[in-house]
Structure 1
Amino acid sequence: MENYSVLVVSVLLFVQLFHGVTARTLNKQDGSEDWGYVEIRPKAHLFWWLYRSPYRVEDPSKPWPIVLWLQGGPGGSGVGIGNFVEIGPLDSNLKPRNSTWLLKADLLFVDNPVGTGYSFAEDTNLFVKTDEEAAADLTTLLVDLFNKDENLQKNPLYIVAESYGGKFAVTFGLSALKAIEEGRLKLKLGGVALGDSWISPEDYVFSWGPLLKDLSRLDYNGLQKSNSLAQKIRQQLLDGEFVEATDSWSALESVISSSSNNVDFYNFLSENSGGNSITSMDLGQSKVISVQRYSRYLSSLRPTPGGNGGLGSLLNGVIKKKLKIIPDNVTWGGQSQFVSKNLEGDFMKPRINEVDELLAKGVNVTVYNGQVDLICATKGTEAWVEKLKWEGLQSFLTKDRTPLYCGSDKTTQGFYKAYKNLHFYWILGAGHFVPVDQPCIALNMVGAITQSPATST
């Protein structure tokens, strides 16, 4: 790795700043960090990393929140991507991030499901095959972390998810609630936030063609091809042919890519024409390639200009050395292909009913979407929200939106509306990765979601 000594110095400063220790030794001081493994099933290990905010505000009326971040993919690493690319204290050059969500909450990253990031299975039969199985593993991890730590129990936990992580979040939210109700989990669930989340694959694939036609990225022929495959996917979902629907989704992505000359699925105002292309490469290849695009794209992201190699080099290099507990034979992201492959039968299943259940139980549910995202386009998100059976839906839909700003800048950055426990944020100028594209509005949003006692920026 280039400039290895510079990175080592940065990591050593990082350790001194946050007083990092090895697994399971939980420091109680603000600004500390801890990490470790939980063997959630025999020979199946989930890795977690907890940061305690140095910006904590003591307010008895508003407890300091904890945000549990769930990455998408499936197979994308929250410990790597969410932490170093999006919201953690340091960016991928190990420089302080001035928009870190630690300004509003403590942060808990989990490499979920087993096989993601630093998490690993000792047997290939141990990878989860459904969202519910992933939820059960996450619940086991929280029982291990929270039940023996009264300090953690005092603070409300907010599950914040991105992309496929949203499907994990709603199934996990229900699993955690059940464990809380049964007395197996000592935790206060503050809410669930779904960022550009793959909640209803059918609604997203039907949004792609019309949206891109309106944007002049598809012509009539491209629209017809797209709609034809979307209809095929709908029928396959109705027939319970979920693996086949994943095949058709892969084919549709290829059609969209070729007909649009490689529009970027994560920002439709851009296209993939460089070395990190995820839609131009591998066109026409297997569904496994398509399922992996999200995590492959993010794991190949380079740090900012002048940086030192890719994210994988960072996580498999100085960060692995810092953590000290990652087994020698475990490579960050080394099992991610098994994660996506094993979930191909669940990949296209909707989770709208789970959102309805959370709302009916009184859980605060926040939906937020980047304006220029394609893979989980706002058009598709609005479509699945309108399918909710929640009793407050019509009142929510008829409410007016409130514009959002950042600081003294009165340029419109987004819109917001809410009714009872359903909240929706439209984030202007953002693609799939809202905290990266609009860090100020994302930081204010998470402060509002968590009711953080920290002041708004």
Structure 2
Amino acid sequence: MERFYVFAVSLLAFSLLFHGGIARAVRRSLSSQKDASEEWGYVEVRPKAHMFWWLYRSPYRVEDPSKPWPIILWLQGGPGASGVGIGNFEEVGPLDTNLKPRNSTWLRKADLLFVDNPVGTGYSYVEDADDEKLFVKTDVEAATDLTALLEEIFNKNQKLQESPLYIVAESYGGKFAATLGLSALKAIESGKLKLKLGGVALGDSWISPEDFVLSWGPLLKGVSRLDNNGLEQSNSQAQKIKQQLKDGQYVEATASWSELEGLISTSSNSVDFYNFLLDSGMDPVSATAAELSEIISMKRYSRYLSTLKPSSTPGGGGDLDSLMNGAIREKLKIIPKNVTWGGQSDQVFTVLTGDFMRPRINEVDELLAKGVNVTIYNGQLDVICATMGTEAWVEKLKWEGLHSFQSSERSPLHCGDDRLTRGFTKSYRNMHFYWILGAGHFVPVDQPCIALNMIGAITKSPAST
């Protein structure tokens, strides 16, 4: 459930990319260089299924024996949205889509590992796109592939094994994160995977589709984007989805979800599902998400994968698709000639249709029971994964510490010397929750300062103050 963004790469930025003028983060590094700032590659996670990864080593690394430097694995949503493209260049990586340094990059707190997951997403690909069996059909299958990727990357690198890995997800990526967390733990316990799992962070994550669709009507009525008629229609369709999920009709529920988004869009004059203060298409960051909608039957999926409108900010504007299939492809050198960035993304979503509406609350419960640090964070202005829906599925957890967590007090969040309240947080044992004010679905973009502080706290980064 993400959006693609459009920027034209200037000749100057292109030149800087290839001549080393944009700091060390844009240097082409060889995987054999121990001091390399970057490396990337493919892992054949299954026969004929190839997953692309890109690792950035932080130039801000702090050596502290008592607090090892962390690694963040970023998982994008969709399903079918590219972490290597969107998460990297649009949200938390070292460069933005104009190939300019990002001051709020999460490299300030950790190393960053981006993947194009599941296979078929971004630069990842299957050798025969007509063979549906090569694509994953469930979140669990996606987690198995990701575990194979981690085994290949970490088992051969003792230095990486010394750093705790934090799985940080956005949107549908949260379902992958929950299943991967359990899969990775199993592999670690059996000795197949050599890494330290530091925790799992679920950002505006599609953990319980039922709770989210039930929240849409009341939320939008409360902020005046729906009237009573719109609320009635929304609630009626949401109840239909609830019954379909109860009956195990997951494919039908996905179709009904699409219809519900259409109803709400019509009744609200096209509210932006990623920021209820805006109309769809207004925000240059959350304004995208489509192209797949022209290929698959879910027309409302256009909210998740599309092209970004020209930015209203100075120097903004461009095309992420062109960047990834142009300058970045040339930089990487290893993308097969017959592979187009995002070329199989529509198939990724289509094949996962039967799992799209399946909840992953039990997996979160199991992670908590196993003592894994689980962080949940949500943007105040998000609709698609509304805070109201997130709080509803959290209340369904069977974790023994839930009552104490709910009874604990929240603490306000600030940035620097600014005393304006930017959010709230509370924790109990290994569960943590962040309410991020003034942010929509894309928290690191809407509130970069608070997001950076938050990720520093989540990862216990030595760079955090």
TM-score category of the 2 structures, normalised to the smaller one: over 0.9
Q: Which residue of 2 aligns with 1:27?
A: 33
Q: Which residue of 2 aligns with 1:134?
A: 142
Aligned: 1:401 with 2:410? yes
Which residue among 85, 93, 99 is the counterpart of 2:98?
93
Aligned: 1:239 with 2:247? yes
In 1, Cα distance between the equivalents of 2:159 and 2:83?
Answer: 23
- The code of the aligned residue for 2:159 comes to N
Residues 125-146 of structure 1: per-residue CA shift (max 9 Å, x gap): 2111100110000000000000
Q: Which residue of 2 aligns with 1:267?
A: 275
Q: Which residue of 2 aligns with 1:337?
A: 346
Which residue among 416, 422, 429 is the counterpart of 2:431?
422
Give the % identical residues.
Answer: 69
Aligned: 1:363 with 2:372? yes
- The code of the aligned residue for 1:356 comes to D
Structure 1 residue 18 displacement after superposition: 3.6
Aligned: 1:54 with 2:59? yes
In 2, Cα distance between the equivalents of 1:323 and 1:100?
Answer: 21
Which residue among 144, 154, 159 is the counterpart of 2:162?
154
In 1, Cα distance between the equivalents of 2:291 and 2:110?
Answer: 39
In 2, Cα distance between the equivalents of 1:317 and 1:284?
Answer: 23
Structure 1 residue 43 displacement after superposition: 1.0
In 1, Cα distance between the equivalents of 2:22 and 2:39?
Answer: 11
User: 1:251, 1:284 within 8 Å by CA — same for their partners in 2?
Assistant: no
- The code of the aligned residue for 1:28 comes to K
Which residue among 70, 74, 82 is the counterpart of 2:75?
70
Two-structure CA RMSD over aligned residues (Å): 2.2
User: 1:300, 1:312 within 8 Å by CA — same for their partners in 2?
Assistant: no
User: 2:143, 2:179 within 8 Å by CA — same for their partners in 1?
Assistant: yes
* Change over 3 Å in CA distance of 1:164–1:60 after alignment to 2: same
- The code of the aligned residue for 1:375 comes to I
Which residue among 430, 435, 440 is the counterpart of 2:444?
435
- The code of the aligned residue for 2:46 comes to R
Residues 26-57 of structure 1: per-residue CA shift (max 9 Å, x gap): 4322x610000001111110000000000000
TM-score, normalization: structure 2?
A: 0.93
- SS of 1:366's equivalent? strand
Which residue among 440, 445, 451 is the counterpart of 2:454?
445
**Divergent runs of 4+, >4 A:** 1-4, 19-23, 273-287, 301-305
In 2, Cα distance between the equivalents of 1:241 and 1:434?
Answer: 32
- SS of 1:444's equivalent? helix
Structure 1 residue 228 displacement after superposition: 0.5
In 2, Cα distance between the equivalents of 1:176 and 1:424?
Answer: 23
Superposed, which structure 2 residues align to 1:12-411 within 5 Å? Answer: 12=18, 13=20, 17-18=24-25, 20-21=27-28, 25-29=31-35, 32-124=37-129, 125=132, 126-272=134-280, 287-296=297-306, 299-300=307-308, 302=310, 305-307=314-316, 309-411=318-420
User: 1:265, 1:279 within 8 Å by CA — same for their partners in 2?
Assistant: no
Structure 1 residue 294 displacement after superposition: 1.1
Q: Which residue of 2 aligns with 1:6?
A: 12
* Change over 3 Å in CA distance of 1:181–1:263 after alignment to 2: same
Structure 1 residue 8 displacement after superposition: 2.0
- SS of 2:318's equivalent? coil
In 2, Cα distance between the equivalents of 1:131 and 1:446?
Answer: 25
User: 1:78, 1:109 within 8 Å by CA — same for their partners in 2?
Assistant: yes
Structure 1 residue 9 displacement after superposition: 1.0
Residues 73-125 of structure 1: per-residue CA shift (max 9 Å, x gap): 11110000000000000111000000000000000000000011110111232
Residues 306-345 of structure 1: per-residue CA shift (max 9 Å, x gap): 3462111111110100000011111111111011101110
In 2, Cα distance between the equivalents of 1:441 and 1:16?
Answer: 25
User: 2:17, 2:26 within 8 Å by CA — same for their partners in 1?
Assistant: no
User: 2:74, 2:112 within 8 Å by CA — same for their partners in 1?
Assistant: yes
In 2, Cα distance between the equivalents of 1:454 and 1:63?
Answer: 10
- SS of 1:258's equivalent? helix
* Change over 3 Å in CA distance of 1:329–1:394 after alignment to 2: same
- SS of 1:177's equivalent? helix
User: 2:22, 2:101 within 8 Å by CA — same for their partners in 1?
Assistant: no
In 1, Cα distance between the equivalents of 2:102 and 2:232?
Answer: 44
User: 1:70, 1:169 within 8 Å by CA — same for their partners in 2?
Assistant: yes
- The code of the aligned residue for 1:431 comes to G
* Change over 3 Å in CA distance of 1:314–1:423 after alignment to 2: same
User: 1:158, 1:190 within 8 Å by CA — same for their partners in 2?
Assistant: yes
* Change over 3 Å in CA distance of 1:294–1:384 after alignment to 2: same
- The code of the aligned residue for 2:442 comes to F
* Change over 3 Å in CA distance of 1:285–1:310 after alignment to 2: closer
In 2, Cα distance between the equivalents of 1:229 and 1:350?
Answer: 18
In 2, Cα distance between the equivalents of 1:239 and 1:170?
Answer: 23
- SS of 1:40's equivalent? strand
Q: Which residue of 1 aligns with 2:3?
A: none
Structure 1 residue 282 displacement after superposition: 11
In 2, Cα distance between the equivalents of 1:34 and 1:136?
Answer: 23
Structure 1 residue 293 displacement after superposition: 2.5
In 1, Cα distance between the equivalents of 2:333 and 2:170?
Answer: 28
